[in-house]
Every structure is written in structure tokens, then in C-alpha cells.
Structure 1
Amino acid sequence: MAYFHPLPGRVLTLAAMLLALAPCGHAASPAPTADTLIYETREGDTLIALGERLLARPQDWRRVAELNRIEAPRRIPVGTRLRFPVSLLKHVPRDGTVLAAVGDASLQAPDGAPRSIRPGDALPPGSVVRTASNGYVTVKLADGSVLRIQADTEARLDTSRQYQQAGFFASVWEVVRGRVEALVTHMTGGEPRFQVRTPQAVLGVRGTEFRVDADATRGQTRGETLTGAVAVQGGRGETLVRAGFGTVTQAGMAPAAARPLPLAPDMAGLPALQERILVRFQLPSVPQAVAYRGQVAEDEQFQIVRGEVTSSTPQLRFADLPDGDYVLRARAIDAQGLESPDAIHRFRLKARPEAPIAATPAPGSKWRTASVPLAWAAHPKAWRYRVQVANAADFQSPLLDRDDLTETSLDVPLPPGDYHWRVATTAAGSDRGPWSDPQRFSVRPQPAALPPPQVTDDTLAFQMQGEPGQVFELQLGRDTDFQSLAATQRSGDARIVLPKPQEGGLLHVRYRAIDPDGFIGPWTAPQQLVLPACVRSGTGECLGASGRFAVSPP
């Protein structure tokens, strides 16, 4: 049986074979070198008949005879291994097909002007795809191989051919700048040949998954192999990059020795639900990583990419994503720019309707009141609001849970203690949004009513009730607004002694407590203090008081 297969021991010549498929437009790329496939003859084969069946120009059988030193083209021994230059074989061009296109991207046919690219577009050989910073295009070739063209990239389908008689498919992509991801599959009944060329390197494969970054800023090409193996040529050198390794090629130089790719980030602990419009993922740090790349897509094949970020820290942030189900893939990047294998995390975004802005109580605030006023900003799409108050931040056992509120405030009676509260928006159709961030506040005991003072001829002694460490401030006023003060004093002692006003009459008294952390409590309700008038001697000495002393509410 006749068959074609690569020459034994020629794994590294695969890229050279592909170079013969199309001319290279970059002087820095390796010079084209013809390669061959092997045909093993069977009974009845002649070189002339093989030329009719296999060669694009049947008369080129003479070149095959010269290459193989065949002197009798009609009498070839069975089992002879003939070398056929790939450049002479019959082939037909095959268009690629656009599977997906998102963002700003254009397609320029070989004989046309650039236009917006659309799913289903045909890509004949010679077509150029350009993507903007938000553009992503996925192309499927006739053999089932897939090329994902990333943002800020220009790529040209240089060659796309099917060698039907020889049993394989060959394609060449020229990446002028930017990044591509290739998934090369084996075609039924033959072997695919797939190549990516950049200004610095040539990467050739047969059945593998790999990434290429033609970095115009650094003037280098980075190649990363995820499965299989990739032959990389640059300058006059060549290296084989196996799965889990990558290489960097500078212009005019041989590829650097293959080095292990960074470890992928561990995303096992990331949340499956995101509830904020600004989506944040805090990744664990990866050793030797200097940066991180993250992409969010609607599909696991990352054809519909909705966001991409590169960060110098392990935190990835994405904005303006609609609510829905997504897939995150993240990579660590080392100092050479090589990227790790993908780490995958699926998550759901439910951030709308947004939570109202919680106004009162403020975080960490303290209250010495019988009830605490809760207040929040109005949401334009609110149908109702839901409010919870709990002792613990997990809200497993809320003390208050109201989902029927139409106003933006609520007074809640609460005994002394520590509390947490949160609020959520419910839009029309019972579409409930996420909770606001919990706000912690505390309720302190209200100041006790002031008992009557101990009165002597010269002093008033007030005994206040409070907590250890508090400082007390007491005021005696001649009016209910305490604009005219008869006396005021601050003390760390709960007992405050004031000189007794000698003129007597109606005064007003109040006090407040200041906590050790500086929180100033409210004034107590003013109380009336009726002092007996002082009977004085001719020298002004108080001989005694007339009338009766009393303390009462105003």
C-alpha cells in the first residue's frame, strides 16, 4: 500500500517544510527551505503515473526522478521510498471561516478594502485580520484547526491548502504584531501542517496547542507550548519546545533554550458569585511572576471575550460586565514575558439593581438613643427596599428583616449592643439586587436621669451614673438653651462639685458622658433646678437660705 509520512528523524524539519508553502515577507525570518514527503512504491507504480496522480504539473516527474536518482522511471522496485518535494504536490486552496468576532475588528480580503468582520465570513488565503484593543476573532480552518486572534493583533492567512492525494492539510499564518492562540487538530486520513510566522521566528507544528506573541515593542517573539511540541526557528538556529515550556526569539538570533512556563495561579478559593459592578479577583501570588493576565468570556472556548486586563499585582479587576454567567482564565507572567497555562474559574455576576448607598448609621458609629434611624440613598429603579439588622455580620439570624419598604429611612428601636445593618434594592418584577456592604454600629446605654444634688451652703454636688473610663461634662444654665451658663465643669470622676450660685432662683442642669475612645454622648434632657435664695449679712456673707431646693423636669 502506498503512503506518505515524514522522514524518520526529521521532527525538527517540519517548520522548514512549511516554509516552502509561501514566501516570507520579513527579512529577519529564516530563509525558505524545501522539504519532502516520502512515498513507498507498490506493484505497478511508475514515476510517470505517480506524476499524473500526485504532482501539480505531471511533467515534474523528471525533477522527482533526478532528486531520487531514478534511471528507469517505468521499472521501480516495490518498496522504494521516493522523496516528493511538497512544493510540487497537487493542492487546492481552502478558505477559513470566522467562528466568532467581538469588539472592534476588521477583515481585508486579498483584493478588497478593510471592513468589519462578522461571524460566518470566509477567509480566503491572503486575508488580513486586524483587531483593536477590545477585538477578538476566532477562525476555523478547513481541517478543523482553530486560531484565536487576540486584541491589538494583525494576522494574515498566508497559505491554506489541502493536499488531498498526499493526505494532509497545510496552512501558514503570518502574525505581524500581537498575540494568537492555535489549536491544531489532526485531519481524518492525514496529518495537518500548521505554521505561524512572525518578524523574528517561525513556529511549526503538527497537532498541538500553542500561543505566539509577536511583541513589536520588545522586538521579540514568545512561543508557549501547552500540548504537543512546537519547532521554533529563528536566525540560523532551531529549538523544539515541548508542552509546558516556552522560548523567546530576538530578531536575527536563534531561539533561546526552552524554559519551563510559570505555574498557573491557584483559583480554587475564588468566589463563585460576584455582586459588585467592579468585579475583583484576588489571586494567590505565583513565584517568579512579575505580572498577571486575566480574561473574562461568555464561553469556555474564549471566543466571546468580554474583558481583559494585565496587572502587576495578583488582583484582577473588570468593569462594565453585564450580569450573567462567565468564565475567567488567568495566567502568571514571568520576567521574560512567558505566560503560564490557563487557570479557569467559573462565576456568576449579579450586581443589578445596585445596592443603595447606606447613609446612617455610619460605619463604627455609636448611639445613645432609644431608637436608631436607618437611612439610605434612593435608587432610580427601586420598587421596594429590603433592610436587615443583626447582631452578627453573617446575618444568619437577623433581628429585623423588612422587604416591604418604599421609603428610604426607618427608625429601629434597639437595646444596647453591637449591630450590623444592610440594605438592598428590589426592582420591578421582584428583581432583587445584592446587599450593600454591612455597616457596623453600636447602641450604648442612655445617660441616667440626674438625681437631686447634695447641697451645702456653698456647694452643689452632682452624682452621675456612667461606665468605667468615661469623662463627664456638666452644665448649669440660666436658660433652656444653655447660652448663658452659671457653671460648667468636666471631670473624670462621676461626682462633680460646683460652687453654689448665691443668687438662687431657677437654673437648668444637664450632663453628658465622653467614652474612652472619644465618642461624645448626647446631653441628657435638661432638668430644672430651683435654688433657695441666700440671706446675706451686711458684709455679704451668706447667713442661710430661704425657700426650698428642688430638681424637676422642665
Structure 2
Amino acid sequence: MNRQEKNRRNHLLQPLLLSIFLLAVWLPQTSIAKDMLVPLHVKSGTNLIHLARDYCHQKSDWKTIADINKLRPPYLIREQSTLKVPLSRLKHKTLKAKLATMRGEVNIVDTNGETIPAKKGTLLSPGQTVVTGDSAYAHIIFPDHRYLNMEPNSKLTFNYLIGLVDQTVKIDFTLHNGRIFNKIIQRLQPNDSHQIRTPIAITGVRGTEYRIKNQEQASIFETLTGKVNVGAAGAGITLPANQGSRVQPGAAPEEPRPLPSPPVPPLLKPIFRVLPAVIPAPEHLQAETLRMRITADNAGLTTVKEVYCSPDEAFVIDSLPDGSYYSFFTAIDNEGFESLANGPLPLTIRTIPSAPVISSPKEGRISWDKQITITWLKGEQVDRFFYQLATDNAFKNIVVEQETTTPSLTTPELEPGDHYFRVQAISPDGFVTLHSPPLSWKMAAQPEMQSATTTASEPLALRWSAMAEECTYDLQIAEDRQFTTLLLDKKAITTASYEVQKHLLPGKYFVRIRGVLSPEAIGPWTASQTLEIKRDPLGWKEAMIGVIMLGIILL
């Protein structure tokens, strides 16, 4: 037979094979029969007796197979077709699946109805049911390189999981509600089978990836790669890659329709150092909702979290343990159909250690001290710190930058003006956190008033450099440098000058000033400065009086 004839034959057989699939696997979906019917592939050169001899406990089981499949003499069967055989009549060994990983609340309902919490590595047997809670995920590994992901609020029952004498594997389970993702890595052999039932429909596959979403009013089937046969209400369709179908109760599967196009993945930071992490969503004309699925592996098998948002919003990751992950992005249209995934994109969360928290001094303070001490908190997994001291909030004009092992610092002597400080924590493995929020303060200049000399008759007006707009001043004049004998103690002067009304006799005095921002923020006194009051020079009147007095004394 040449290639053209073979292709023509395969094209003619495709509708027939789909019909055979429906006859072989269709069972009423309201309940599972106690003795499940297993699809058995008919290979070339096989008859009923050979089939029973090879796969069943007794050769006479060929009669049971004929009755179930409504075969009549001469009991002809078509090669490459499928017959239904009761599980109890087949020679088989029961296999088990493995709960490889799980997140959140996952329970197992045993065959006796007892509910027990699931654990990573639990072996799952036919008859058991796996239930995932809110925000819970389960990754299940089947024999023969088959994988299944259960998403939150899903319920799945294993009907049978068997290996036949020809080393083929047959799996059948029911998705009662929720969402699952199936991945079959190696192409199935002709007698392998992988069937998934919902209360509404049933599927059969051969080497593919596909999703099933079972809702109250419909089941949605989406093929990602390969092909999926979907049967319901005695009718069936074949779903090729990148197409989906909806099945409603009592109705045949809807015609295949294209899935939405995948979204353009957003740009992700190399490392997210704080949570919640906000990731702007890409635009998408077809999508009503965008989905970000975060997995522990780059194959996307082990889901740890999923986040949804509208195309004009942002994904918000509110909680996720530190680690390296992978993200996959899909678009969901207004009918619930979901696109193929765009990914994997690496996603790294590192929040420990966190950026240091500065504990003192108070932000925005004004200080007269040339040096201040800054302290901050030391978090977990911190080995050292890196700090910067600058004169601008952009930290372009750096005064000092260096590492320290202690969570405190006394600055060098600084010039008056604005100053800014920030610090980062460094872990033992070299990871550097974000900067702390910058601490800013103003170092005010001390008021300067040079030593003054004046005469007793001239008005005394003192002036000094202003410290800050909101500052008031205290002024003291004393006879001694220790300011124990005060001649003037004036408080809350609102200007950087003061006219002394009190008449001071000729002599030497001492003056000091301090700035006051509030009752809690009083600056230090300046160093004492000298004020000298000289005698006035003699005028003609004073000279005449002096001459007269001298004459009287001489007489």
C-alpha cells in the first residue's frame, strides 16, 4: 500500500475511530458502574478468542465481551477498533499514583468515606478521592510519564489505574468539580488509555496536554497540544491543539473554537525584594481576565500560586516564600476559554533580610550638633550593612559611604546644611536589600556674634546670623564668663537682632545666644562672646567742669 492510499485510508478511518471511542467509553455519567468497562484495543490479526486468551482470566470470556459490545455471529471485529471489557475479567495489576507535591489544604477521601489530610509522597489507590481547598494545589504523578495538576477547590476520584499483561497502562478518573491540567509526556501505545470523566462528558487522549474545567452548568475542554476526543449525549468531537469546546448537561459537545491568543508577558524585575509585589498587566483585546500562574519548576507542573487581574490592572503577589520560581501568563475570554501559556519567565522573591528600619533620630529634625548618632534595627540573616551619607536626597553628593557590622553610626563632623542618610543590609551570601527610607536632617549653624565694643552713651544693638525661619532665640548678658551674674536674660526673641534697653556702665561683659525651635528642641548656648562698654570721650562741657574743679582744689 503506497503512502497516498494509506493517508486516504487514515482519513476515512478517523470518523470511524471517533465513533468507536464513543461506543467504547461512554457510560451514564450520573454514577460509576461497580464493574468498570475498560477499553481494549483490537490489533491486526486478532479475534475474540485470541483477545480473551491474551487479556482475560478465561478463554470463555470472549462470550461476555461479545454480549457487552453487542456482537453477533460470526463475531467479526475490526482491527484498530476498541472493545469494552469488564475490569473483573481482565488479567491486570493495580497501580498507584503519587502525590508528588502539594500546597495548602489537600485531603484524601478513602474508599470507606474517611477523610484524612494528604501528605507529600502519599500513594493514591483506585477508589480514593483527592480534594483541594481554597488556594490549594496538588501535583500527581501517574505511571508511564503522565502528570496531573489539581487546582483550588477541585475534587477528583480515581476509578481504576491498572497495568495489563502487555505492559500497557489504563487510567480512568472522574473530575467532580474544579480544574485540572493533564500532561502526557510520552506518546501512548495503541492499547494505553487515559480517560477523564465529568458529570457531563468524557474525554480520551493520546499524547497531549489539555485542561478540563468542570462547572455547575458546563464542562470546558481545552487542548494545548495533540488531540482530545470529547463525548457527551451520544455524540463526539475531536479537539485539535489550541482549540476548546463547552459541553452543557444533556447536550452534545459544542463545535471546536479557537482559544484566545496568549498575552505578551510583562517585564519582571530580576528580584522582588518586598511584598506585595505589583506587576503591571499587559494589554489584551480578547481577554476579560489575565492569569499569572507561579510554579516551582520551569515545566509548569508544580503550581504554588495563581493571581488574576483585568488587562488594565496589575498582578499583586501578596505572599510567597522567598525562592526562585517560574511564571506563566494566560488570557481568559468572557466565555471562560483560556489561551496557551506564555512562559516560563523566571521569578525571584527575596524579602529576607529586609531593608533596615532606622530607629533614631527623628526624621526631619534640626540639629545644632556637628555630629549625630544614627541607629537602625538588625533583621534576620544579616551579616553587615552598607550606608551612605550625602548632602542631597538623590545621593549624588556623597560625603561618606562604607560598610559596617554594627547597626549604628556616629557621623563625622558635618558642615551646616541639609544631610541625608540611608542604609542597606547584606546577608552572608552577599544578597543586598533595598535601601532604607532616607533619613534627613538639617544641621543649623550656630549664631555668630563677634566681640563688640561700644560706648556707654551709644544705644546697644546686637545682631547675629539667623539659624532657621521658625527659630526663636534666647539672649543672656552677664558680668562673668560663667554667666552666674546675669544682667539680661531675654527669651523668645523672634528676630536675629536685639536692642538692649538697659543702660550698661562702662566695663567688660559676656554675651551668649541659643536657638529654640520648640520646647523639646532647644539648641546649645554659643560660646561666650565679649562685649566691652567704654567711657565716652570728654566734650568741652566736661572739660570746663574739670578745669573749674581743678581750680577749686588748687585754691
Query: Could you tell me the TM-score, scaled by structure 1's length?
Result: 0.69
Aligned residue in 2 for 1:343: 343
Indicate how the Cα distance of structure 1 residues 343 and 65 shifts in structure 2: closer, same or farther if over 3 A, else same. Answer: closer
2:210 maps to which residue?
Answer: 210
**Would the aligned equivalents of 2:232 and 2:251 in 1 still touch at CA under 8 Å?**
yes
State how far apart, in whole Å, the 2-side matches of 1:390 and 1:12 are: 75
The equivalent of 1:100 in structure 2 is: 100
Please state how far the C-alpha of 1:100 moved relative to its aligned partner.
Answer: 0.8
Go from structure 1 to structure 2 and tell me whether the alpha carbon gap of 1:254 and 1:51 turns closer, same or farther (over 3 Å shift): closer
Which residue in 1 is equivalent to 2:154? 153
| Other structure's SS at 2:199 match | coil
Q: Is residue 133 of structure 1 aligned with residue 134 of structure 2?
A: yes
Q: How far does residue 209 in structure 1 lie from its aligned partner after superposition?
A: 0.5
Code of the aligned partner of 2:22: A
- Secondary structure of 1:174's counterpart equals strand
Cα shift at 1:95: 2.2
Equivalent position to 2:220, from 199, 219, 222: 222
Check conservation: 1:388, 1:398, Cα contact below 8 A.
Answer: no
Q: Is residue 41–residue 190 contact of structure 2 (8 Å, CA) maintained in 1?
A: no
Q: Which residue of 2 aligns with 1:548?
A: none
Q: Distance in 1 between matches of 2:412 and 2:157?
A: 67
Q: 1:502 to 1:186 in 2, by over 3 A?
A: closer
Contact (CA 8 Å) 2:281, 2:309: kept in 1 or not? no
SS in 2 for 1:222: strand
CA drift at 1:182: 0.5
- 3-state SS of paired residue (2:22): helix
Point out the more displaced range, 301-310 or 472-481: 472-481
| Deviation (angstroms), 1:369 | 4.6
Q: Does 1:285 align with 2:282?
A: yes
Which SS does the other structure have where 2:282 is aligned?
coil
How many residue pairs get aligned? The number is 495
* 1:263 corresponding residue in structure 2: 262
- CA displacement, residues 85-116 of structure 1 (integer Å, 9 cap, x when unaligned): 52148743642321414343233343563334
What code does the residue aligned with 1:488 have? Answer: I
Q: 8 Å contact 2:363–2:440 — kept in the other structure?
A: no
Moved more, 340-349 or 357-366: 357-366
The residue aligned with 1:547 is none
CA distance in 1: counterparts of 2:353 and 2:396, whole angstroms: 21
1:108 and 1:114 in contact (8 A); partners too: yes
Tell me how far apart the structure 1 counterparts of residues 172 and 233 of structure 2 sit (CA, whole Å): 19
Choose the corresponding residue for 2:63, options 59, 63, 71. 59
Task: Give the aligned partner of residue 405 of structure 2.
Answer: 404
Deviation at 1:527, TM superposition (A): 5.5
Deviation at 1:291, TM superposition (A): 4.3
SS at match of 1:155: strand
- Structure 1 residue 282, shift from structure 2 partner: 1.4
Aligned match of 1:25? 30
Q: Percent identity?
A: 16
Q: 2:84 aligned with 1:87, yes or no?
A: yes
Three-state SS of the structure 2 residue aligned to 1:525 is: coil
Given that residues 105 and 132 in structure 1 are in contact (C-alpha distance below 8 angstroms), is that contact kept between their aligned partners in structure 2?
yes
Q: Partner of 1:190 in structure 2?
A: 190
Distance in 2 (CA, whole Å) between partners of 1:227 and 1:246 is 11
SS of aligned partner of 2:84: helix
- Rate the CA distance shift 1:502–1:233 in 2: closer, same or farther, 3 A: farther
1:146 aligned counterpart, secondary structure: strand
Alignment of 1:359-398 (within 5 A): 359-360=359-360, 369-379=369-379, 385-389=384-388, 391=390
- CA gap of 1:309–1:361, structure 2 versus 1, over 3 A, is farther
1:167-178 aligned at under 5 Å gives the runs 169-178=169-178
Find the residue that maps to 1:9 and give its secondary structure: helix
Contact 1:265–1:343 (CA under 8 A) maintained in structure 2: no
Question: Residues 461 and 316 of structure 1: is their aligned pair in 2 closer, same or farther, counting only changes over 3 Å?
Answer: same
Residue type of the partner of 1:131? T
CA contact (8 A) 1:472 1:512 kept: no
Task: Determine the structure 2 residue equivalent to 1:9.
Answer: 15
Task: Give CA-to-partner distance per residue, 1:424-450, whole Å, 9 cap, x none.
Answer: 266xxx566643534335565642642
* C-alpha distance in structure 2 between counterparts of 1:243 and 1:396, whole Å: 59
Aligned partners of 1:396, 1:503: CA distance in 2, in Å? 50
Contact 2:358/2:436 (8 A) holds in 1: no
Distance 1:414 1:532, change over 3 A: closer
Q: Matched residue of 1:58: which SS? A: helix
**Secondary structure, in 3 states, of the residue corresponding to 1:98?**
strand
Aligned to 2:551: none
| 8 A Cα contact 1:420 1:440, kept in partner | yes
Q: What SS does the corresponding residue of 1:8 show, helix, strand or coil?
A: helix
Superposed, 1:437-456 pairs within 5 Å as 437-441=435-439, 446-447=444-445, 449-452=447-450
Greater helix content = 2
Q: Helix, strand or coil: the match of 2:144?
A: coil
Unaligned runs of 5+ in 2: 2-8, 478-482, 537-555
Give the match for residue 317 of structure 2.
Answer: 317
> 1:139 Cα deviation (Å)?
2.7
Q: Which residue of 2 aligns with 1:243?
A: 241
Deviation at 1:156, TM superposition (A): 0.7
Distance 1:368 1:334, change over 3 A: farther
Q: 1:48 to 1:229 in 2, by over 3 A?
A: closer
Find the aligned partners of 1:237 and 1:465 in 2 and give their Cα distance. 92
Partner of 1:550: none
Change in Cα spacing, 1:46 to 1:194, as seen in structure 2 (3 Å) is closer
CA distance 1:331–1:419, shift in 2 (3 Å) = farther
CA distance in 1, matches of 2:459, 2:231: 104
> How many angstroms does 1:359 deviate by?
2.6
Aligned match of 1:549: none
Offset at 1:459? 7.0
Q: After TM superposition, give the deviation of residue 174 of structure 1 in Å.
A: 0.8
1:362 and 1:439 in contact (8 A); partners too? no
Instruction: Name the amino acid aligned to 2:270.
Output: A
After superposition, what is the alpha-carbon deviation per residue over 1:351-400, rounded to whole angstroms, capped at 9, x for unaligned?
A: 43444422346667776652343211354776x64241155968998933
The root-mean-square deviation of aligned C-alpha atoms, in Å, is: 5.1
Q: Which residue of 2 aligns with 1:552?
A: none
Q: Which has the larger radius of gyration?
A: 2
Query: Which residue type is aligned with residue 16 of structure 1?
Result: L
Structure 1 residue 133, shift from structure 2 partner: 3.1
TM-score normalized with structure 2 length: 0.69
Counterparts of 1:210 and 1:144, CA distance in 2: 15
The 8 Å contact of residues 101 and 303 in structure 1, kept in 2 or not, is answered as no
Could you tell me which amino acid in structure 2 is paired with residue 244 of structure 1? N
Question: Is contact 2:277–2:316 with CA below 8 Å preserved after alignment?
Answer: yes
Matched letter for residue 87 of structure 1: K
Letter in 2 for 1:229: K
Once the two structures are superposed, residues 113-169 of structure 1 have per-residue CA deviations (whole angstroms, 9 ceiling, x without a partner) of 33344455443432211223354333333333222222322101124355666x965
What SS is found at the alignment partner of 1:59? helix
